Amino acid sequence: MTIKLLDHEIKVKLEDPGNWDRNNMGHSDIGAGTITIDNTMPTDTIQSTLIHELIHIIAGLNSISLTEQSVDGLAIGIYSFIKNNPDWMEHIK
């Protein structure tokens, strides 16, 4: 799948991690315009990992320095909001 983010096209790839570091659930590469996510995880983990990697890309494109702990906290909060309020945009018109 390809998504558009801040006027950049980002290719999102779900693939078997093979020989990845087992602590690594996903990876983003701003230069290549890719996000790669371990497809062996449960769907909710894949979704939250995508948000995590999107935050890395947003931060990088805007020259914002975030710690991994900050990215984790933001991703957890945003995922929770989206998951618990799936129709939130419909209420803001």
Q: Write the pLDDT tens digit of every residue in 49-80.
A: 999 999 999 999 999 999 999 999 999 999 99
Ordered by start, the domain boundaries in the chain are 2-91
* pLDDT number for residue 16: 85
- pLDDT band, residue 90 (cuts 50/70/90): confident
- pLDDT band, residue 22 (cuts 50/70/90): low
Q: Any idea which fold 2-91 has?
A: Zincin-like (3.30.2010)
Q: Write the pLDDT tens digit of every residue in 26-52.
A: 999 999 999 999 999 999 999 999 999
* Per-residue buried b or exposed e for 31-57, using 16+ beta carbons within 10 Å of the residue's own CB: eeebbbbbeebeeeebebbbbbbbbbb
- pTM for the structure as a whole: 0.89
